[in-house]
């Protein structure tokens, strides 16, 4: 484990053959920057798993969510 900024990962390009993201994206406003940075540190053909509830466009999230039943 390493603590850091998800928008400026402290790893070289192509450092990983696999990675996952667990309840991170919901806390980061700039989703494009987040996924661009993930893509940068993954090798070509790497596996990337995401388990998250996040909004990537306009509008509200659809409830029921793991942390709340209403807005």
pLDDT per position as a tens digit, 56-71: 788 887 787 777 888 7
Minimal CA–CA distance to 6: which of 54, 44, 45, 64?
Answer: 54
d(CA 11, CA 41): 6
Using DSSP bridges, classify how beta strands 42-51 and 16-22 pair: parallel, antiparallel or unpaired: parallel
Question: Taking the complete model, does pTM exceed 0.85, yes or no?
Answer: no
Ramachandran angles phi, psi of 59, nearest 5° = 105, 175
Residues 25, 41: Cα–Cα separation, whole Å: 17
Topology of 1-71 in CATH?
Answer: Rossmann fold (3.40.50)
Residue 47: predicted pLDDT = 97
Of the candidates 61, 1, 50, 42, the residue with the CA atom closest to the CA atom of residue 21: 50
């Amino acid at each position: 484990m390493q603590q850091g900024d998800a928008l400026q990962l402290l790893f070289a390009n192509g450092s990983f053959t696999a990675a996952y993201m667990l309840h991170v994206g919901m806390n980061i406003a700039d989703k494009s920057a987040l996924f661009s940075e993930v893509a940068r540190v993954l090798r070509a053909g790497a596996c990337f798993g995401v388990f998250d509830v996040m909004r990537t466009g306009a509008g509200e999230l659809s409830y029921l969510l793991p942390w709340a039943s209403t807005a």
